[in-house]
Every structure is written in structure tokens, then in C-alpha cells.
Chains A and B, each alone.
Chain A
Amino acid sequence: MSNTDTAVKNPISTGRRRWNATDLGLIAVFAALVAAAALVPGLAVNGFGVPITFQTLAVMLTGLVLGPGRGFAAVGLYTLLGLAGLPIFSQGRSGLGILAGPSAGYIIAFPIAACVVGWLATIVIRRTTKARALWFFLSAAVTSAVVVHSLGIVGIALNTKATLGQAFLSDLVFYPGDMVKNILAAVIAVALHRAFPDILVRRVRRSAAQPAKA
């Protein structure tokens, strides 16, 4: 099981500084947040009868708030448990069977997206003090276009025998909603960083300032 491999290694492992209990708590709760967002139908049901969920919002937010390492671990844990059989993918689906379905690309893209957007978020936090919401939004928008949608399209094309063009068109439906969710994710991330100033920012500053042995 190659995916167990990466997920077991990454959540717990080798970073410069080992995660403490609070980090584990954050990883676990954000993984649960992504699961809950995938399961609880959102505010409305759109014209196609497909419930709008907060899932992509939760994935992006996880990266924006936790940063690349813990963000990847949280969303990776969610994906791993879903593939292992816990019914936590959207609409209560689960299992390796997902990888043969049209949403395979999106599922695989989620942990990568959390990592990429988390990496961008640390840059934003280090370099900017103003208009962070805009920068966060741009980070999330770029990540969702480059990672989520492109892998999503590949997944559709591979698993449904549609051409890339057709896949592109069916993926297009998700763009408007995703942009709204990215805006929300950015605004919420700014608020969370304000409510919990040390969740990512001071970590960065402090670990840079701290001598090796306290």
C-alpha cells in the first residue's frame, strides 16, 4: 500500500522540529473538519441537485492556517482513512474504489493542494502585513487551478474515457463555486490568524529566534 507509506511517514515524521501534542490536536481536528465539511450538506442545494459542501474550503483553509507540513498531514490523514474504508468522502463514500471513479483526481489533489497553499501562506505571512486576505485568496486560487482542477481533469479523463476537452468542460462547472469558497477561505484564514496569532506566524518567528537548547 504505497499511500500508507507516505501518509504514515509524513504526519509524524522527520521535520526539523518534531510536532508536539498541540500540533497533533490541530492536525486531527482539521482532518475532522475536512471530513465534516464533506459530509454535512451546505447552505443550499444547487440546480443539479448536488449539495454544495464546504470541502474545498476546508482543504484550502487547512493549508492556509496550518502551513505546508501540518496541512499536508491533516488532509493526508483524511484521504488515507477515507481510502482505508471510513465513509468520509463526500456523500459518505469511501474505499479504494474511489480511485477508479471520476473524483479520483480531486481526492489525490487535496493533500497536495493543502501543502502548496500552506507553503504560499507562510510566504505571505512572512512578507506582508497588509491585504493578507487578497494574497491568501490569490494563493488559494492559483493552487486550486494548478493542483486541484488540473489533477481533477486528468482523473476524469483517465477514469471515464472522456477526452481531455470534455473533462475540462465538466470541471468548469466547479470554478465559480470554488472561487467563492476561496474568497471565504482567505477571509476566514485572516480572521483565524488574528484570533490565534501564534498558530503559524510566531512559530516561524520563534523557531528562527530560539537557540538550539533552551
Chain B
Amino acid sequence: MPAVTFDRVTVAVETDNTPEPKVLIDAVSLELTEQRIGVIGANGSGKSTVLRLVNGLVQPTAGKVTVDGADTVRNVRTVRRNVGFVFTDPLSQLVMPTGREDVELSLRRSVRNGTERRQAAEAALDRLGLLELADQSIYELSGGERQLMALAAVLAVNPSVLVLDEPSTLLDLRNRELLRRTLAGLDQQIIMSTHDLELALEMDRVLVIEEGEVVFDGGAAAAVDHYRMLCRDGLPAGKPR
């Protein structure tokens, strides 16, 4: 497995309301080598920022992030070739009117020849069983099909790491299952944030993020327990019903 490392990474942003920059991620150090890594935590806890750091979409204010030794600031192009990113909403990710065209767009940088590119796109769509839907308007697809289409476009360029930001949040139960099965069949290293604790339980390692810090790091079952406890403790205590 490729190694993603965080070396005392801090992310802070300027805001108009406070004089001091707001700290989103606070001195996090990590070494991620497992194949399936889950990231859980409340909304606004910093999950998304952690994921975006892996792909260079967010750059550290201090510290550094590397993927297979490549620095996400200095070698951002290499990093983005190796790290595919799937967003929560596939419609913001699919920039072409049909899936096939979107997959071909992904391949434009790596495959210059038109015929080869078409064949590569065909193969990428076929791998996820999407050939029949390839020429439909992305607006005519179901949520799950769209998410798979976005996945196909990302996988087409063969990244070694796949980052997914709450990929199942907008999906219904059946589409979730479809996505889960597809992900289970992939060889890539997967780093995924999710609110779906069942999905989190299938991971090899789970990080719990709270207010910009990793508050738990370990096996899936223990992490989910920890997160459940955290959520209970955060609420006003023991009101009788």
C-alpha cells in the first residue's frame, strides 16, 4: 500500500469576524498505510479538510503532507495524478453532459491519441458496469449511478489512492449498497469520510476527528464506539423523558 503521511500539519484560515486565523486542523501527525481508512466526526469537525489535504486541494499552513514521498505542495501535479478524489455531490464533479465524455475528459492529460482515449474510456466504464449508461445525460441517471460515473472518471486514470468525501450521504439505501459493493472490489488504497457508521465498520482503520484533532485512531469497532460515546457526552446530560 502507498503511504500517506501527515507531519505536524496545521491548517488555519483568515476570517473577517475574528482577528486571529481560525484553526481547522491542529498539528496532526499520521501515517496511513492500511488499505481502507475511514474518517468519522461531526459536521465541521475537519473531516473534509483532512481529505482535501491528501489531494492538495487544501495546503497546510504549517507542516507537510506527502503521498508516496511526493509533497502535496511542491509536487502537487504528481500527487493529483496518484490521488483520485470523489466529492459528495457527483453533479459538481461531472463536468461533461454524459458519462462517457466525462471519462474521456479525465483521460485527456494522460492519453493524447483520440482513438486510444476512446478505448481507455470504454474500458474504464466497462469495469464498473456502466457501458449502458455511458451515453445518457448525467441528469437522467439516479444518484447512485451518477456517483459510480464520477468514480469511473476518477478511476480511469488509475490513481493509487482514492479519497472519497462522504460519498454515500446523498444516496438512498439501495444506491449505498451498490456503492459499497463497488468500493469493496477495488485494489486502491481508500480514504473515506462518512456519516454511515455501518460503512465505517468495514474499514481497516478509522480516525475520529473532533475540532481539528484526531481524538481516536484505531480499529473500526473501537473507533465507532468512541465516536458514539463522544456524541452522547456532547449533548446536555440525562434529561428524563
Binding site for B on A (CB under 8 A): 197, 202, 214
* Docked complex: B1-30 residues within 8 A CB-CB of A: 14, 16
Contact A197 B16 (CB under 8 A): yes
> Which residues on B sit within 8 Å (CB–CB) of A214?
59, 73
Contact digits for B142-159, partner A, Cβ 8 Å, 1 yes 0 no: 000000000000000000
- 4 CB-based A-B contacts, threshold 8 Å: A197-B16, A202-B14, A214-B59, A214-B73
> Which residues on A sit within 8 Å (CB–CB) of B73?
214
A214 to B14 CA separation, bound complex (whole angstroms): 17
> Which residues on B sit within 8 Å (CB–CB) of A197?
16
How many Å from the CB of A26 to the closest CB on chain B?
A: 14
Which range holds the interface residue count of chain B?
under 10
The secondary-structure label for the interface of chain B is: loop
How many Å from the CB of B184 to the closest CB on chain A?
A: 31
> Which residues on A sit within 8 Å (CB–CB) of B14?
202
> Which residues on B sit within 8 Å (CB–CB) of A202?
14
- A213: nearest chain-B partner, CB-CB: B74
A214 to B59 CA separation, bound complex (whole angstroms): 10
The 4 closest A-B pairs by CB, nearest first: A197-B16, A214-B73, A202-B14, A214-B59
- B59: nearest chain-A partner, CB-CB: A214
- A28: nearest chain-B partner, CB-CB: B95
How many Å from the CB of B195 to the closest CB on chain A?
A: 27
> Which residues on A sit within 8 Å (CB–CB) of B16?
197
> Which residues on A sit within 8 Å (CB–CB) of B59?
214
- B73: nearest chain-A partner, CB-CB: A214
A202 to B14 CA separation, bound complex (whole angstroms): 10
How many Å from the CB of B202 to the closest CB on chain A?
A: 33
A77 to B49 CA separation, bound complex (whole angstroms): 34
How many Å from the CB of B80 to the closest CB on chain A?
A: 10
- A25: nearest chain-B partner, CB-CB: B95
- A201: nearest chain-B partner, CB-CB: B16
A197 to B73 CA separation, bound complex (whole angstroms): 23
* Docked complex: B67-88 residues within 8 A CB-CB of A: 73
A202 to B59 CA separation, bound complex (whole angstroms): 16
A87 to B222 CA separation, bound complex (whole angstroms): 60
A31 to B30 CA separation, bound complex (whole angstroms): 43
A197 to B59 CA separation, bound complex (whole angstroms): 19
A197 to B14 CA separation, bound complex (whole angstroms): 10
How many Å from the CB of A104 to the closest CB on chain B?
A: 33
A132 to B16 CA separation, bound complex (whole angstroms): 17
A214 to B76 CA separation, bound complex (whole angstroms): 12
A106 to B116 CA separation, bound complex (whole angstroms): 45
Contact digits for B45-82, partner A, Cβ 8 Å, 1 yes 0 no: 00000000000000100000000000001000000000
- B16: nearest chain-A partner, CB-CB: A197
How many Å from the CB of A125 to the closest CB on chain B?
A: 14
How many Å from the CB of B96 to the closest CB on chain A?
A: 13
How many Å from the CB of B200 to the closest CB on chain A?
A: 31
A202 to B15 CA separation, bound complex (whole angstroms): 11
How many Å from the CB of B58 to the closest CB on chain A?
A: 13
A202 to B73 CA separation, bound complex (whole angstroms): 20
How many Å from the CB of A64 to the closest CB on chain B?
A: 19
A63 to B34 CA separation, bound complex (whole angstroms): 49
A73 to B15 CA separation, bound complex (whole angstroms): 29
A197 to B16 CA separation, bound complex (whole angstroms): 8
A197 to B15 CA separation, bound complex (whole angstroms): 9
How many Å from the CB of A7 to the closest CB on chain B?
A: 21
A214 to B71 CA separation, bound complex (whole angstroms): 12
- B15: nearest chain-A partner, CB-CB: A197
A126 to B16 CA separation, bound complex (whole angstroms): 16
A214 to B62 CA separation, bound complex (whole angstroms): 11
A214 to B73 CA separation, bound complex (whole angstroms): 8
How many Å from the CB of B141 to the closest CB on chain A?
A: 23
How many Å from the CB of B223 to the closest CB on chain A?
A: 34
- A194: nearest chain-B partner, CB-CB: B16
How many Å from the CB of A8 to the closest CB on chain B?
A: 18
A45 to B14 CA separation, bound complex (whole angstroms): 45
How many Å from the CB of B168 to the closest CB on chain A?
A: 26
How many Å from the CB of B238 to the closest CB on chain A?
A: 41
How many Å from the CB of A22 to the closest CB on chain B?
A: 10
- B13: nearest chain-A partner, CB-CB: A198
